[in-house]
Structure 1
Amino acid sequence: MAPAVSTRIQLAGELPTLRALGVEEAEELFRPGGNPDQRGAVLEGDPGGRSTVRFPLPGTPDAGGRLNGRPGEVGTGWVVLSRWCRASLFELVRSRFTAPRSASLAEREWNLYCHLLGHGVGVPRPLAVGARGQGLFSRDSFLVTRELGGFEPLKEWAGRERDPEHRRRAAVALGLLLANVVRAGVLLPRLSVEDLGVKPESRDDVGGSCDAHLPSVPGRLKIRHLPGVAILGVRGGLVRKTLGPKEVHAMLSHLLEDARSKGLVDPGEARRIAALTVRGGSDRRRLWQALR
């Protein structure tokens, strides 16, 4: 007899029910065609069975300026729904038997986001996760995260920003963010500039306060008025007790090479990012040798 299909739904403490998202039933989140798809826009899809939809919370005007109800318990704004339909067996095995061990790909990203938030890393806040399947794996799953307000893709910002002081501060903020990732023991081997967002500084008040997405400053480093920098995606992430120099080197090299190839960082900015990231490494001498 085949194992029974099980369904799991987990909500963040701030989310009383799925109705706070403007959703009547979980099926609307598992399958395309429901209320989120009608109110939002499909962002992307990939061969791995993942699709992404961006839609407004109740009380938030949609792209056409239409309101859909009153603001709920989680306020207004936009959320991102990621769905995995019939996820690949390879990715499911990897998710089940490497940390953070999870029965579905959505639950793995939920666990990664929660782990990073607990270590002061700016990432989207997860609101709801669901999975269903048989046995060890759940091939169908979904994850809803709150979109970070005021952030824009780092790629677009870096391609437009020419002020050297603003670029220096953004490089420092990114280096500190990556140092927190290293201290959290999270390996993001696929991290690219497309996975990063920045909250630009105000032209009128460059010394404005930073928000909760600003990474903590290691050691005695005293730098103020940095822009917010956040990680917008954690695909392929792993959690280790500590990251070795080779792992940090591979992650950092992949990101910086991607940024250099797109003309988004100059050599000085790359060195600044690398230097601050190294501060989060467990073996700084060996890591510096690998990066030189």
Structure 2
Amino acid sequence: MTDTTTQEVPEMAPRPPGLFKRNPNDPKTLPLLLIIPSQLLLMGMMVFPFFLELWISLTNWQPTFGSLWEAEFIGYFNYEELIVYEPRFLQALGRTLLFAVICLSLEFMLGLGLAILFLKAIPARKLLFSLLLSPMMIMPVVVGYTWFMLFQTNGPINQIIGWITLQGGLPQIEWFRHDATAFASIVMAEVWHWTPLFFLVLLSGLNAVPQNPIRAAVMLGASPLRVFWSVVLPNLLPVIIIAFVIRTMEILKIFDEIFLMTRGGPGTATEMVSQYLYKLAFQDFRLAYAAAAAFIVLLLTVIGVNLMLRPVTRQILREK
């Protein structure tokens, strides 16, 4: 005869009772009940506009057509026209993607360099730290108007270029007249405005990196570059991804700076998707068309953010 052994099955933790089945005397019950009204309000503020936008995008409604609820239902016609017959929308999406890639790359490299520099003891560290963070605190409207004045033909930027190139007079560079220079001007304004965010996030991440693996790698003879690439960067990756996600969502909403500096011009050379939606909705009054475009942008944003956050979620699941 063979002995049969039974494997003990670990007991599963009991599920916590539902909100309305909790003991009223439980100290955790009252806080949960108190936040229900605010949560319902926030859900209503998010859910109702979402479905309203979805409904508008499936109709041909315009403000001059009367009641929204009596608008003609046309299905996916607006979406088909946007994707197939509206090159300006696809160009605005592509331009916004290019703008995001350039700005995020520059902001990341500058922010990482400054964060590494500030890990060391440098003179006037606290003063420089405050000065570096100050652009992030300025309102976008002020940033847009300031850089609009800086890039004027007789402005300080041209004056500095004249000093560097040792030209006799002021260089007559018309920044907002040509496609390339107009695009470069808004890139410089955006990088100046939001590099401090990358600097702050990356500096916090570098300070949180454990020192024991770094010391072990140095004792084994690893070069500083190898230590950064193999030890520091993997620990910094979740922080980098979070910074990229935050800035990507902000870039998709950029409006004030471009509106004040170039208004999307010359032509449509600096027209991002937010400017396109604004013109479509509030200048052409094609609200149903704009709602469909906004819904496409929302869907692409959700997909992109989920793809960017996938390494972070995988790491969290591994740690659990």
TM-score by length of 1: 0.26
| Structure of higher RCO (CA pairs closer than 8 Å, 6+ residues apart) | 2
More strand by share: 1
Q: Which has the higher helix share?
A: 2
